[in-house]
Amino acid sequence: MQVTREIFDQVMVPNYAPSKVIPVRGEGSRVWDQQDNEYIDFAGGIAVTCLGHCHPALVKALQEQSEKIWHLSNVMTNEPALRLAKKLTDATFADQVYYANSGAEANEAALKLARRWALDNHGEQKSQIISFNKGFHGRTFFTVTVGGQAAYSDGFGPKPGDIVHAEYNNLDSLRELISDKTCAVMMEPLQGEGGIIPPTKEFAEGVRELCDQHNALLIFDEVQTGVGRTGHLYAYMGLGVTPDILTTAKALGGGFPIGAMLTTKAVGDHLKVGTHGSTYGGNPLACAVAEAAFDTVNQAEVLEGVKARYQRYVDGLHAINEKYSVFSEVRGQGLLLGCALNEQYKGRARDFLMASMEENLMVLVAGADVVRFAPSLVITEQDIDEGLQRFERAVAKVVAG
């Protein structure tokens, strides 16, 4: 069967609008389509392929595990899942791990755990969850309601209750909402879908203090920022603020679907046998690949390399902006970067994405006003420079109209 883009329109639910380009193979930060056209990947599958495409360590782990055992239900455990959990807890604040298939499911588990912890310790009245406008926490009905973007949660009937939203980077806004009835505050330590917005140190510290004052849990959604993306293994480490629960996915598997929730024993013990579960959570194939990805990323050389690549990107993007004056600012941390469009180009982020594809460069958007980059953490300097040249040509096209 010859696979074409038209088949998507025939057989797929139309909730996506994929590009006409169909990639068929990749290596490092280069991707080739059905016609063997080559693209440079600055998108990383939306911050997922943290080591690029077909990284040898991940390929080796997958091949070796595929000849051992593929799946076990959670009636039993398995070696890759336990090895990975030990490494995650050794490297972070956490004592315990719960596995899921995606970031949304890890966040669903975190929110259910917070509610169960509050019920067990404080009673039914302590159920409020506070998150932040422009936040994004997944597409399950619970997580999409907690996410602060009504466009994603409206239109599906009555929403889960006792969820309110504060303004990001505005402690007064949070202070007005939080009370002893709040069971948890959920936040991204760098807003991704909301526009690549970093928190101030004072804000992050203030959120932690308010949670402590009201005996509420602090949940960090590190689905996009985790596993080296900001130049720290997890972004909380750069903020100096420790959450009670942390969620991780995307880069955790380097492209193989896996998510995890990390927490302390005092909190995690409230997910007793039977309170939550996942058929594929802790899958041996997924955990074996994730262990290889984690081992590769969690090295000083790789994490320091992210910071060096950040500077190369920022310098290049500023140079482009000096010529074309399209961005109001370049923001972000590590290799999660956003070019915020200025007043003249607001609402046209997709135009820059489409022009980039025409120049054989894959980029992302974060809303209508921000062009987003989330490349491999080990992308070569040559690919950064060549990709930025292609992006400059794309910018020139948009400016020329």
Q: Determine whether the annotation assigns residue 6 to a binding site.
A: no
103 marked among binding-site residues: yes
| 248 annotated ligand-binding residue | no
Strand partners, 259: 100
> What does the CA dihedral 272, 275, 278, 283 come to, rounded to 10 degrees?
0
- Is 151 assigned to a binding site? no
The answer to the question of whether 278 is labelled as a binding residue is yes
Q: Is 136 a known ligand-binding residue?
A: yes
116 annotated as ligand-binding: no
For the question of residue 221 being annotated catalytic, the response is yes
350 carries a ligand binding annotation? no
Contact of 292 with 58, CB cutoff 8 Å: yes
Q: Tell whether residue 153 is among the known ligand binding residues.
A: no
The answer to the question of whether 227 is labelled as a binding residue is no
Given 250, 256, 294, 391, which residue is catalytic?
Answer: 250
Q: Which residues pair with 25 in a beta bridge?
A: 32
Please tell me which residue in 136, 203, 256, 327 is annotated as part of the active site.
136
Which residue is catalytic, options 126, 220, 221, 327? 221
How far apart are the C-alpha atoms of 167 and 174, rounded to whole Å? Answer: 7
Q: Annotated binding residues for pyridoxal 5'-phosphate, as ranges?
A: 103-104, 136, 221-224, 279
Annotated catalytic residues are 136, 221, 250
Q: Annotated binding residues, as ranges?
A: 103-104, 136, 139, 221-224, 278-279
